[in-house]
Homo-oligomer: A and B are copies of this chain.
Amino acid sequence: MEPLRSHLARITHLNQAAAVLEWDMETYMPTGGAEARSKQVATLRSMAHELLVSDETASLLDRAKPTSAIDEDLVRVVLKDAEKASRVPSSLIAALAEASGRAKGAWQEARSTNTFALFAPHLERIVDLSIQHAEALGYTEQPYDALLDQYEEGATTQKVSDVFEEVRSQLVPFVKEITGTGMSCEGPLHREYPEAEQWAFGLRMAERIGYDLDHGRQDRSAHPFSTSFSTTDVRITTRLEERFFNPAFFGTLHEAGHAIYEQGIDPALEGTPLADGTSLGMHESQSRLWENLIGRSLPFWEYAYPQAQKAFPLALSDVSLDAFYRAINSVSPSTIRVEADEVTYNLHIMLRFELEQKMITGAVAVADLPQEWNDRMEAWLGVRPLNDSEGVLQDIHWSLGAIGYFPTYALGNLMSVQLFDAAKAAIPNLDEHFRAGDFSPLLGWLRTNVHQWGRRRTASEILVAATGSDLDATPWMTYLRRKYEALVAR
């Protein structure tokens, strides 16, 4: 195992170094450094890829003699990674990189000038290359399966469609039901929240729920993200809006949720490809759990609200806990995904999932995308984008060639409730702990059942072992109904 581990450590270190360079690019890099930096990252990533698909990897895997369960998992996962990576010809990887390089610029131009036609040919090219990519990767039922599998191993289009269909059939009427019950007033969230206090309050709460600042830190960036340089250095970024409480606070909890997952991976996996989140859906389940199931819950704010009032006296001294709780849980269908509330968010995802599939099968032509998009927005959410910039052009993902990525956001939401329900069943009186500001019982349960495993278990295996069931939409719908029924009744 030792020669294999040394070899894999090199690959891991190259990818970790690339992550540091990318983090710096979004946080501190002077503007003039971008071009050289992109080349540096490309070199590190392609050297890591070359090492992974090299004969040396194959031969080391062949000769490896696993002597522990971790060793066995390592050999199995790396075999699969190497096999998948070697299926895609490097000419296709290069073509995808080049196409998305061009598409990104075109998308920015298209969005800022509200001209879908500028982006359309680039998106067509990306769809075309994604189909080739799916063919290269291979699949059993349909090409989209292969794309989805890159981000959510083992998920299939059919399975995800079934689950999403079930959610949508209940969610669309539910949104209509609770919209206009008069419970939505975000007003207090748009008052004066000084940046320094937002920074400190968010970080204090992130630490309180379990984010370890001896092995992490927070910086500013235009778009918040979390990133891991090792299980002992997992960082988050946040953005601050002086007159809006939500972006910094919920963004910080969200990113801290991702980071807490990575910090909780078994240290024995460090330096191997196993030391990573098991799928994007499972990752999102952790960020959403802390952001929504904790961060938008009453027990959490029964603990945290006095501190919030102290931190933001100008904004909150005359706002009751009840009014604040309503404000952070207001539901208001809108056209923009990243501004969507906890209830309507999944509908934004389902729309993208459906259109992605139809682009890949050819059922929807790129030229018809704006119309198809807007019609669904109107049917599902009751709002229609005024233009394509707040419609089909709002997200960067497709320009990056990331098709198959969106559904993992909704999968994360669904899984988060499945896991939270299981934790509640295992630990009596969790709410009482939250009211006392003690999140360690929940964190401990997540560490044991989710975090420690890294990539040793798939998302599905973790779900089944931890909750007794595979992906299931019912818990999430039940959670929403109970929460909002209680809110309306208060």
Contact = CB atoms under 8 A, between A and B. Distances in A.
A9 interface: yes
A164 to B, nearest CB: 39
A149 interface: no
Given A24-B20, A35-B232, A39-B271, A217 B30 contact: yes
A47 B10 contact: yes
Interface string A36-52: 11011001100100000
Contacts of A31: 214
A47 to B, nearest CB: 7
Please tell me how many copies of the chain the complex holds: 2
Contacts of A40: 13, 16-17, 20, 229-230
A215 interface: yes
Interface centre among A13, A18, A217, A231 (most CB of B within 10 A): A13
Contact of A36 (B35, B44, B216, B229): B229
A36 B232 contact: yes
Contact of A17 (B17, B33, B230, B233): B17
A215 B37 CA distance: 12
Interface in A207-266: 212-217, 219, 229-233
A354 interface: no
Contact of A10 (B17, B43, B233): B43
A410 to B, nearest CB: 33
Given A13-B39, A21-B20, A47-B47, A28 B232 contact: no
A14 interface: yes
A270 interface: yes
Contact of A28 (B21, B217, B271): B217
Given A43-B13, A47-B47, A32 B219 contact: no
Given A32-B212, A35-B232, A37-B229, 20 more contacts: A13-B39, A13-B40, A13-B43, A14-B44, A16-B40, A17-B18, A17-B20, A17-B21, A17-B40, A17-B44, A20-B21, A30-B214, A30-B233, A32-B214, A32-B215, A33-B215, A33-B233, A36-B270, A37-B230, A40-B229
Interface of A: 9-10, 13-14, 16-18, 20-21, 24, 28-33, 35-37, 39-40, 43-44, 47, 212-217, 219, 229-233, 270-271
